[in-house]
Structure 1
Amino acid sequence: MKIVDVCAFYTPSGGGVRTYVDRKLVAFADRGHEMVVVAPGERDGEERRGPNARIRWIRSPRFPLDRSYRYFSDRPALHRVLDEEDPDLVEVSSPWRSASMVADWKSERGARARLALIAHADPLAAYAYRWFGGVASTQTIDRAFDWYWRHLRRLDQRFDMVVSASDSLSTRLREGGLQKVLTDPMGVEPGQFSPALRDRAVRREMLALCGLTEDAMLLIGVGRHAPEKRWPMVAQAVTMAGAQAPVGLVIVGGGSRQRPVIEAIDGNPHVRLLEPTTDRAALARMMASADALIHGCEAETFCFVAAEAIASGLPLIAPDRGGAADLARKSGGVLYWSSDAQAASEAILSVARSGPRQSAFVRTKTRPVRTMDDHFDALLSLYVGDQRRTGQVSCR
């Protein structure tokens, strides 16, 4: 089967999406399928990732709200690439312009390809709920943004399936009137994260960066400095918790919007910002050497870092909505009211008070962790099964 992923959020400097797509290129090719990722880039071009794996870049402008990304603006160019590739199935991982472009391509060309909309993003949770959540309920905001739900329902009619990464997002999509929603949770890189990587020396080093000794609690946060990640709120929560117990926090991540995070830290020596790293092995050691992962974003559709923390044996401290919350509930983590620094500080203290006994319990009890390979196998089963039902199995 030949699969084309029209991926508007793929960028060489990206985080979770890039990690996921790079792994998918390898995984699908290893399973005998041809995989092509079509992404907006600085210039037109093609990059081979193996005998059956490629990336095709389409020259595209920068996204004005986040210049680390680009967006598809040339509809004829995208249609031309899809014509040239002639796929069996097209994935689209953004509900915006690219989804409509791909749906138009199929209807205008009479293309045979099946279409799958992958719910990698939750724009209402990332933006509208965050902007207006202080003055209106989620239900009220949904009614005000009914144009968005109408747009999703139109896409639901034009696509063959909508694949969601978490139970909570699937529930929201179905409640919004979508009828073709299927759930296939993502997972972690197999063999990368493990409690066995816990290193007391690494833990001492991170605590020393925070000006604390080994008897303190060490939290780790991972993610870019974007408003929806709520790092200022997390920093405030750690400062509040630190007034009652020794707590240190290292945040691994970067981005152009670092100033609000620095202002929220306000000189607290126990909160440190570390540059993002492409060394996954080093990140895995750091994660396993912490005492808990804290996350601030309630808009995650899956939350890779939370899954990686579970695989590393860490308890999760997460907001009560979104993909991180789903993972925290399943793994026995601690939830707090989303966007509430006081509630987050209380959650931190509840984990701190559990002490070494709870930490040892979390690290030693057996908890199966879903891997990316599990996710890809399930996704391919959906695709192949859908082709068999419609009689469109390809011989290539």
Structure 2
Amino acid sequence: MKLVDVCAFYAPKGGGVRTYVDRKLKAGAAMGHEVVVIAPGEEDRIEERGPNARIVWLKSTVFPLDFNYRYFNDVPALYAALDREAPDMVEASSPWRSASLVGEWPGEAPRALIMHADPLSAYAYRWFDGVAPRPVIDKAFDRYWRHLRKLDTQFDMIVSASQGLSDRLTKGGLAGVVTNPMGVDPGVFAPAHRDVRLRKGLLELCELPEEATLLIGVGRFAPEKRWPMLVDAITAAGTRRPVGMVLAGQGRDLKAIEKRIAGNPHIRILAPITDRAELARVMASADALVHGCEAETFCMVAAEARASGLPLIAPDEGGAADQARASAGWIYESANAAAAAETIVEYCIARESGIDGPRAEIPAPRVMDDHFAELFASYERLVQDNRSKPGPRRAA
């Protein structure tokens, strides 16, 4: 099977989507498939990733809200690339404009939409929760729901990584939703990478003694991640327990986060960690991962923390909540700094008392290759069904 992924979210400095796509290129080739990623880039070029795996970069315009990303602005060039590749199966990896373009592409291949983003949670619910109930918000954003329902008619499958998101999409009128949790990059994250000297050094960086609790936050510096809220929560918790946080990431909200930290010596922003092995070592050397975003579709960072043996402190909605519940983690009310602070204090007390449980007993998530094996098998069924049906695949 030849799979082409039209991935608007893939970027050299990307986060979870880049991790996911990089593994898909390897896993697909290992399972006997050819995987091609079409991504918006600085220039037109082809990047070989080994046998049966490559990235086709199309020259595209910088995304104005985040300069790390670009968007497909040349539709004929995108369609020409799809025509040249002649895929058996096509993916779109964003529910925005690129999904509409893939849905309207006149090719005959079946196609799937991977819900790497949950815009309603990331934007609409984040902006208006507390102002109006969810049904009212959904009604106000019915134009987006109509967009999703149209995509549902254009795609053979809508792939969701969490049951909560799947339930909301189905309730909103989508018929083709399939839940397939993702997973972690195999062989990278593990409790064995814990380094007590590194932990001590990170606590010293936070001006805290070795007995203190060290939390780690990992992710893009973007509004939906709610880092300023977590800074407030940890600052408040720090008045009751010795607790600090190191934050690893990058993004446009760096200045806002630094301003909220306001000289608190117990919260430090690390230089971006681009090496996966180094991130695994830093993550395993913390005591717990703290997360603030209720809009995650899967939450790769939380899964990697679980694989590292870390307890999770997460909001009660979204993919991070799914990961925390699956590993008996600590959950607080979403978007509530006071609730997050209280939960952090409760975790600190449990850790200090030795009752937070052995790290090795934290259930690890599935590995990503299991996700891909399930996904590719479903794609092969769609390809076979498509080949057995005479006539045009669908009306554009």
CA spacing shift, 1:51–1:344, aligned 2, 3 Å: same
Provide the residue aligned with 2:248 in structure 1. Answer: 252
Q: 2:271 aligns with which of 275, 278, 292?
A: 275
Cα distance in structure 2, aligned partners of 1:357 and 1:211? 22
Gaps spanning 5+ residues in structure 2: where? 390-396
What pairs with 1:87-236 in structure 2 (closer than 5 Å)?
A: 87-106=87-106, 111-236=107-232
Q: CA deviation at 1:256?
A: 2.5
Q: CA deviation at 1:101?
A: 1.1
User: How has the CA–CA distance of structure 1 residues 96 and 364 changed in structure 2, closer, same or farther, with 3 Å as cutoff?
Assistant: closer
AA at the equivalent of 1:187: G
In structure 1, the partner of 2:392 is none
Task: Report the alpha carbon displacement of residue 253 of structure 1 after superposing the two structures with TM.
Answer: 0.8
- How far the C-alpha of 1:112 sits from its partner, in A, is 2.1
Does the aligned pair in 2 maintain the 1:315–1:362 contact within 8 Å?
no
CA 1:357–1:27 in structure 2 vs 1: closer, same or farther (change >3 Å)? farther
Question: CA-atom RMSD, angstroms?
Answer: 1.4
Report the alpha carbon displacement of residue 366 of structure 1 after superposing the two structures with TM. Answer: 5.9
In the TM superposition, what whole-angstrom CA distance separates every residue of 1:11-59 from its partner, at most 9, and x where no partner exists?
A: 1111111111111111101111111100111111111111211111111
**Partner amino acid for 2:43?**
R
Shift in Å at residue 134 of structure 1?
A: 3.5
1:28 counterpart residue number: 28
Summarize the Cα distance change of 1:229–1:366 in structure 2 as closer, same or farther, 3 Å threshold. closer
Instruction: Give CA-to-partner distance per residue, 1:322-354, whole Å, 9 cap, x none.
Output: 100011111101111111110000110111111
Q: Does 1:86 align with 2:82?
A: no
Q: Partner residue of 1:287?
A: 283
- Report the CA distance between 1:358 and its aligned residue: 4.9
Matches of 1:43 and 1:355, distance apart in 2: 50
Quote the offset at 1:391 in angstroms.
Answer: 4.1
> Which residue among 327, 330, 345 is the counterpart of 1:331?
327
Residue 124 of structure 1 aligns to a residue in which SS?
A: helix
Cα distance in 1, alignment partners of residues 314 and 362 from structure 2:
21
Q: Does 1:306 align with 2:302?
A: yes
- Letter of the 2:163 partner, please give it: D
8 A contact 1:11–1:69 mirrored in 2: yes
Structure-2 residue corresponding to 1:66:
66
| 2:307 maps to amino acid | A
Distance in 2 (alpha carbons) for counterparts of 1:33 and 1:318: 37
Deviations 1:192-232 (A, max 9, x none): 11111111101101100000011101000001211111110
How far the C-alpha of 1:356 sits from its partner, in A, is 4.9
Q: Deviations over 1:142-166 (max 9, x none)?
A: 1100110111011101111101111
* Contact in 2 for aligned 1:314/1:362 (Cα 8 Å): no
CA distance change for structure 1 residues 365 and 11 in 2, over 3 Å: closer, same or farther?
A: same
Unaligned stretches of 5+ residues in structure 1: none
1:85-121 CA distance string (max 9 Å, x none): 1000000011121111112113xxxx22011011110
CA–CA separation in structure 1 for the residues paired with 2:103 and 2:250: 35
Q: Percent identity?
A: 60
Whether the aligned pair in 1 keeps the contact of 2:305 and 2:311 (CA below 8 Å) is yes
Match of 1:9 in 2: 9
Q: Give the letter aligned to residue 244 of structure 2.
A: G
Residue in 2 aligned with 1:241? 237
Q: Matched residue of 1:50: which SS?
A: coil
| Contact 2:184–2:304 (8 Å) recurs in 1 | yes
CA distance in 2, matches of 1:124, 1:185: 20
**Is the contact made by 2:158 and 2:177 (CA closer than 8 Å) also made in structure 1?**
yes
**Count of paired positions:** 389
Point out the more displaced range, 367-376 or 299-308: 367-376
The TM-score with structure 2 as length reference comes to 0.95
1:56 aligns with 2:47: no
Q: Deviations over 1:268-298 (max 9, x none)?
A: 1000001211111111111111111000111
Q: Secondary structure at the match of 2:331?
A: strand
- CA deviation after TM superposition for structure 1 residue 365, in Å: 1.7
2:300 partner letter: F
Query: Secondary structure of 1:39's match?
Result: strand
Structure 1 distance, partners of 2:103, 2:243, is 50
Aligned AA for 2:247?
Answer: I
AA aligned to 1:54 is: R
Which aligned runs of 4 or more in structure 1 are off by greater than 6 angstroms?
A: none
Secondary structure of 1:5's counterpart equals: strand
Structure 1 residues 130-139 or 40-49, which shifts more?
130-139
Task: Flag the 1:192–1:359 CA change in 2: closer, same or farther, 3 A.
Answer: farther
- TM-score (structure 1 length as normaliser): 0.95
Give the whole-Å Cα distance in 2 for the aligned partners of 1:232 and 1:181: 34
Aligned to 2:350: 354
The amino acid across from 1:81 in the alignment is A
